[in-house]
Amino acid sequence: MSDYLEQLTTFICSCKYEDLPNTVVERARDIVADTIAVIAAGAREEEVKKITARITHHDSTGTATVIGTTQRTEPAKAAFINGTAGTFLELDEGNQFGRGHPGIHVIPAALAVSEEKGLSGPEFVTALVLGYEIGTRIGIACKLRMSMHPHGTWGTVGAAVAVAKLMGYDKAGMKEIINVSSSLGLATSRKTMLEGGTVRNVYAGMSNYMGILAHDLVQSGFTGEADGLSTVFGSVVSETFSTEAMVEGLGTRYEIARNYFKRHACCRYNHGTLDALVEIAAKTALKPEEIARVDVETYSLAAQLCDQEPQNMLAGKFSIPFAVATTIVHGCTGVESFRPQVIHNSAVKDLAHRVFVTEDPKLTAMMPKCRPSRVKVQLKDGSVLEAEAFTNKGDTEDPYSREELRAKYFDLALLTWKQDVAEAIHADVMKLQALDDLKVLTGKLRNLD
């Protein structure tokens, strides 16, 4: 049973920056730039500003940056806040194979520890790649209960692995922190996203916090099970756990190179629908008052996002009727189309009640390879506009270009930083391999204006 753990720990502990393929390093840099911008934009949200003030108000000094603020604090707190902020706008990258968002579960913890210890860019990148790898592989190896939200589960182990790599753990220590952190995930509820329970936005923050806590626990002598991964992810939060999947292609297939990026500021289950809608809108100008109804046929998970009257921003991001309506009314799918005030926009609300979502079992059967959606817009003059999408724009099968990712970065970064600062941050990330001390980068991540 523990043979796979032996393989995992051997790989993690022996892996060096020089071992990483160039494509993996490039993707890691892209993910870091994307995540920093997403965190900074999320840090502007009222709930994030308030929780930051509450848990850091006694801090007079700190070694880790709270991105997009004037604040420094202890690494665990910074990792929690940054992980929470990075989830808020539903723009964080993800991995379709792990069925979750590994980057936002690993980067805040790795960044905070690297900053505190004055580690180099290559050390940070290596830890990020490995934490991302192990977390994602757990998501692949198990099938979480459908009632659970994936945030805050296997990402905790990913964060812990990244921290342990930065701390120079040997194989025995790495195995221990994997087993300890496997028991530190949350009992997450999928309903939180559907009902707009914003506690869901702290799940990734908690994984980062727990990843650092796992290090403190191990260093204090706490121990885990002999194989906590198999127990927790094979019988507690999931009924199946494939140890073979944990090591298949290890060191040759890197999960970070199979990620996806998001430009629609909402749940990924909306994206196929919005991609099809954008295709329709590119050919015909859509006016809300001319639309009789919109019918969306899609796969089972997306069909759950059918609320025609979401009550807050988070619920709106998990509603296909709202996403379709606000996109048509505002002509875009970015942050501004999902602001809290838009939830109560009368034109959006009226149109959302004319958007109907149903599951097509044939489309569900195409998962997980595809995330299909068919959109039919019926106009009041009797004409019908149709389009369909089978893979989401930004997925590995249809990736965004480097220019599109750069545009997204600046769209978000310029909400917080002036142009010259945003450009300097991006330049630092693109040359992480040349940074001897990550504080060269993190020193720019505060917002002192």
Torsion angle of alpha carbons 192, 194, 195, 199, nearest 10°? Answer: 30
Burial 292-302 (b: 16+ CB within 10 A, else e): eebbbbbbebb
200-236 residue pLDDT tens? 999 999 999 999 999 999 999 999 999 999 999 999 9
Does residue 413 surpass a pLDDT of 70?
yes
Pick from 123, 116, 225, 230: which is nearest to 166 by CA?
123
Percent of the chain with pLDDT over 70: 99
Number of other CB atoms surrounding residue 390 within 10 Å: 17
- Whole-Å CA distances, 430 to 28, 34, 121, 344, 439: 10, 11, 10, 40, 15
Q: Is the Cβ–Cβ distance between 396 and 30 less than 8 Å?
A: no
Bridge partners of 290, per DSSP, are none
Kindly state the helix (H) or strand (E) to which residue 323 belongs, with its residue range. helix 320-330
Q: pLDDT value at position 1? A: 46
d(CA 136, CA 133): 5
Average pLDDT score, the chain = 96
d(CA 337, CA 90): 12
Q: Can you give the length of the chain in residues? A: 449
84-106 residue pLDDT tens? 999 999 999 999 999 999 999 99
Per-residue pLDDT band for 199 (boundaries 50, 70, 90) equals very high
**Domains of the chain, start order:** 3-262+402-442 (1.10.4100.10), 268-389 (3.30.1330.120)
Number of other CB atoms surrounding residue 250 within 10 Å: 18
- Whole-Å CA distances, 165 to 42, 116, 196, 328: 28, 15, 36, 47
d(CA 133, CA 368): 19
Does residue 282 surpass a pLDDT of 80?
yes
User: Per-residue pLDDT averaged across 60-67, rounded?
Assistant: 91
Does residue 396 surpass a pLDDT of 90?
no
Per-residue pLDDT band for 2 (boundaries 50, 70, 90) equals low
What tokens appear for 267 in the block?
A: 């749940």
User: Per-residue pLDDT averaged across 425-438, rounded?
Assistant: 97
Does residue 447 surpass a pLDDT of 90?
no
